[in-house]
Amino acid sequence: MKDSWEALAQECRSCRECSLCETRKNVVFGVGSQNAEVLFIGEGPGANEDEQGVPFVGRAGKLLDDMLAIIGLTREQVYIANIVKCRPPDNRDPLGVEQDACIGYLRRQVALLRPKIIVCLGRIAAMRIIREDFKISREHGQWFQKAGVEVMAIYHPAALLRDPRRRPEAFDDLKGLQAKINELCEHTRAE
Ligand code: URA
Q: Which tens digits make up the pLDDT trace of 9-56?
A: 999 999 999 999 999 999 999 999 999 999 999 999 999 999 999 999
- What is the Cα–Cα distance from 142 to 67, expressed in whole angstroms? 18
Residue nearest to atom 6 of ligand 1 (CA): 55
Q: What is the pLDDT of residue 91?
A: 87
How far away, in angstroms, is 175 Cα from ligand 1 center?
A: 22
Q: Which tens digits make up the pLDDT trace of 133-188?
A: 999 999 999 999 999 999 999 999 999 999 999 999 999 999 999 999 999 999 99
**CA atoms 170, 126, 75, 94: torsion sign:** negative
Q: Could you say which DSSP state residue 88 is in?
A: P
94 lines ligand 1 (CB under 6 A): no
- Report the candidate in 43, 41, 39 with the shortest Cα–Cα distance to residue 87: 43
- Break the chain into its structural domains and give their ranges: 5-184
Q: Which tens digits make up the pLDDT trace of 71-106?
A: 999 999 999 999 999 999 998 999 999 999 999 999
How far away, in angstroms, is 46 Cα from ligand 1 center?
A: 6
AA letter at 31: V
Residue 122 region, left (φ>0) first, then alpha (ψ -120 to 50), else beta?
left
Strands 144-146 and 149-154: antiparallel
pTM of the model: 0.98
For 118, other C-beta atoms within 10 Å of its C-beta total 22
Q: Are 84 and 98 in contact (CB under 8 A)?
A: yes
Q: What are the CA-CA distances from residue 74 to residues 84, 93, 118, 137 (Å)?
A: 23, 27, 16, 26
Domain 5-184 has CATH 3.40.470.10: yes
79 lines ligand 1 (CB under 6 A): no
How far away, in angstroms, is 94 Cα from ligand 1 center?
A: 11
1 pLDDT more than 90:
no
Q: Could you say which DSSP state residue 17 is in?
A: S
How far away, in angstroms, is 45 Cα from ligand 1 center?
A: 5
Q: 54 vs 191, which has greater pLDDT? A: 54
49 lines ligand 1 (CB under 6 A): yes
